[in-house]
Amino acid sequence: MDNLQIISVRENPEYAHEAVKYFQSVWKSNSPEIYEDAITNSVGASRPLPQWYLLLKENEITGCAGLITNDFISRMDLYPWVCSIFVAEEHRGHNYGKLLLDKALTDAKTAGFDSIYLCTDHKGYYEKFGYKFIGFGYHPWHEISRIYELKIS
C-alpha cells in the first residue's frame, strides 16, 4: 500500500529528533517544548505509555499520532488517549489516518487496555472506524471537545 510504514519512536529512537520537529510543525502551540519533552522522555520509558508514531510514505514523514495517558482534558478517569492525529493534506483521502488509529489500537490492546479514547471537534470521521461519542470534556484553555471511545475486543 503505497510503501507506507508506521514508526514507533519508542522502538526507533533514531527518529526522536525528526518526530519532535514534525509534531511541533503540525501542532503549533504556545509551548513547543511540550512535544520535545514528551517524545524524548518516551524513549526508554518503563511503562507502555506514551507512544508516539510517525507515518512514513516512501521514507517521507506524512503523518503522526500519539497514545498517551491524558490529552489535556478533564476526563482523567479515561485512558489511554489517541492524540495529535495528523495526515498531511496532500496525502488525505487514502485511509492513512486509520492506519495510525489501528497502530494505537494494537498497542493499547497489547498493553491490556479495554478501551481507547480521543477528543476532537470533528463529527463523522471517527465514527466510521467504530468510535462512539460518549460526552464532552473540558480543556484548561477553556474549550470543550467531543469525547469518543472505542472498545477493544
pLDDT in tens, 65-116: 999 999 999 999 999 999 999 999 999 999 999 999 999 999 999 999 999 9
Q: What is the pLDDT of residue 32?
A: 77
CB 147 within 8 A of CB 111: no
Q: What is the pLDDT of residue 102?
A: 97
CB 55 within 8 A of CB 105: no
Which set of grid coordinates corresponds to residue 20? Answer: 519532535
Residues 6+ apart with CB under 8 A from 24: 32, 35, 36
Q: What is the pLDDT of residue 141?
A: 86
Confidence of residue 2 (pLDDT cuts 50, 70, 90): low
Q: What is the pLDDT of residue 56?
A: 97
- Grid cell 520535545 in the structure block, residue: 36
Query: How does the average pLDDT of the chain come out, rounded?
Result: 94
Q: What is the pLDDT of residue 31?
A: 74
Q: What confidence tens digit (pLDDT) does each residue in 103-120 have?
A: 999 999 999 999 999 999
Which set of grid coordinates corresponds to residue 106? Answer: 494494537
Give yes or no for residue 1 having a pLDDT over 60: no
Q: Beta 51-57 vs 81-87: how paired, if at all?
A: unpaired
Give yes or no for residue 29 having a pLDDT over 90: no
Check: pTM over 0.85? Answer yes or no: yes
Confidence of residue 30 (pLDDT cuts 50, 70, 90): low
Which set of grid coordinates corresponds to residue 104? Answer: 494505537
Q: What confidence tens digit (pLDDT) does each residue in 127-140 have?
A: 999 999 999 999 98
